[in-house]
Chains A and B, each alone.
Chain A
Amino acid sequence: MEDLRVYFFTSRGISRAVDGVSFHVGEGETLGVVGESGCGKSVTALGILRLVPAPGRVVGGRVFLEGEDITKVSEAHIRHIRGAKISMILQDPMTSLNPVFSIGSQVGESITIHQGLKGRTLLKRVIEMLKLVRIPAAESRITDYPHQMSGGMRQRVAGAIGISCEPRVLICDEPTTALDVTIQAQYLELLKEVQERTGVALIFITHDMGIIARMCDRVVVMYAGRVVETGSVRDVFLDANQPYTISLLKCLPRLEGVAHLESIEGQPPDPHTFPPACRFAPRCPKVQPVCNEVYPEMVKVKEGHMAACYFPGDWHRDK
């Protein structure tokens, strides 16, 4: 994905919710996308699928799937990609399933749309999918309705819907925030397993650095609609170079130092009135005059590790 831009044309002006985001994810890889609430993670995900709600619009950028730029293809074509090649699990299992259809029909729907299965073969596939996400007694649960299931079960069903057509890319938009910790751990485990079996590329959206550390190979840190740092999880965690990433890591509770738990000063900027240059500058503890002039380009810290900061690392090291 290159330079994706999604703007909302609201009555208050243009809201540049996603403003030039680039990243890539390979087969069998897990990419974490992390950032504060409102930084544009979900909008990025919907932008990939071209499903940004009005008044929003993808205004620029290219998204390549297996070499094809899907921002240019026809509406009918992208519909064949949605659910089949790129799929998504939404945040809230309580509201993301349709209350008036049985879970069997909801899991089966995309299989019918994209693979044309019907009747008994479809039923078999649906049961197989529900078993894959470890729904107990899957055979008897396909006629159940969402309200008859717990949140954890529903999120598994949502997971089954996501993987039902064996997509190449599965976007998980904070799929576990609504679940309690034990269920959350089980669910993450499950996603990993599915990935091993199908080789799906996972894009894992979260604001939980802990989950990133546990789940992901690489990470993209977003701030105010832009990527501020990206690299392997190991590099970013051990040698964060952008002040926002560093602050974010400090917010992580640690076993040895819970007392030092910090939060980042100030509020993220309103996407209608982003600062012209570095968007983190108003909150940055090490801000320099240049930071308020031009937006810093991404600089290479080492192979595969980039940060958008004029003083990458300096800040970190003199601390």
Chain B
Amino acid sequence: MGRYIMGRAVQGLTSMFLVTIFVFGIVRLSGDPLQMLLPEEAPPEQYAEMKKLLYLDKPIVVQYWKWISRVVRGDLGTSTKLRIPVMELIGERLPNTLQLAAVAFAFTLTLGLAVGVYAAAWRGSVVDYVARGFAVMGQAAPSFWSGIIFILIFAVYLRWLPAGGKGGLSSIILPAFTLGWLPVAGVMRMTRSSMLEVLNSEYIKLARIKGVRETLVLWKHGFKNAALPVLTYTALIFIAMINGSVIIETVFAWPGIGRLVLEAVLNRDFPIVQAVVLMFSTWYILGNLFIDIGYAYLNPRIRY
């Protein structure tokens, strides 16, 4: 197990390294990096200062080394538009995005897994049909559209929930639900089909023969097996939520990273975009790493 984790960690680090090369390279590939990193109306003295800061007169390896050692220390440059260190901007917005993602994720896992398991156990029941209908809609409706529909129903007509912005507890419900709907649908469908297969297996039959209670048959003997493929899928949920947050935060005026990066793209504020790409990639790689470790923990065939 230790060796397996080491191996995966090394792979993760390698991926991380490639990402930094990419982020570092993209600025330089597209010609003069200063033109990308500075606003068009920047004065010449700022131009010279930036050039020194980036060691543009030094060989490329040195440039990378200097850049990466700054990144590692948490210095991601300064927003060209807002003139505020990128780290500060991110630090301000990140908790909001994390909050939104955490609620959506918790919602995805609990609802997706629980409903998936029971839809399989009670195949053909009302629960099963409602769940499948819900899943199909979740997968068919684009989130910007479902977001607007939810605002119309719950904020405009019913006036139960706020239409946007970050306020009290109620303000997170609509965006989290919208962000979670697609992944819930995915988790639900995968859990259901995986569980159906498991429930047909001989070892489930044996568990029942042993006199195991039905709840335990489902959750101990069935779910632990059925969860394996679903777990891998949660890696995709991370991407879905990260990608999704850009749209959802815009629709619901949620002050998170997604909106920050959207504004930055519109303003050609390159340091912010660069930092966010780097951050999302790290996030994704770490997520994958944890999932692989979790998978190994659950699946003895990998653990040994």
Contacts and interface: CB of A to CB of B under 8 A. Distances in A.
A34 interface: no
Interface stretch (B111-119, B142-150, B208-216): B208-216
Interface string A106-144: 000110011000000000000000000000000000000
A92 interface: yes
B206 A158 contact: yes
Contact of A97 (B203, B213, B224, B298): B203
Interface residues of B, number: 20
A161 B207 CA distance: 10
B44 interface: no
Nearest to A45: B209
Interface residues of A, number: 31
Of listed A46, A87, A98, A148, residue having the most chain B CB within 10 A: A98
B210 A109 contact: yes
Given A99-B225, A99-B300, A80 B202 contact: no
B65 interface: no
A100 interface: yes
A96 B301 contact: no
A283 interface: no
B211 A161 contact: no
A216 interface: no
Nearest to A79: B211
A95 B198 CA distance: 11
Contacts of B212: 83, 109-110, 113
A83 B213 CA distance: 12
B139 interface: no
A84 B211 contact: yes
A96 B210 contact: no
A151 to B, nearest CB: 13
A57 interface: no
Given A82-B210, A97-B206, A98-B203, 11 more contacts: A46-B205, A81-B211, A82-B208, A88-B206, A91-B202, A92-B202, A99-B225, A100-B224, A109-B212, A113-B212, A145-B304
B221 interface: yes
A100 B209 contact: no
In the A-B complex, the 8 residue pairs with the smallest Cβ-Cβ separation, listed nearest first, are A83-B211, A83-B210, A82-B211, A145-B300, A98-B203, A96-B202, A110-B210, A95-B202
A275 to B, nearest CB: 31
B211 A114 contact: yes
Nearest to B201: A95
A290 interface: no
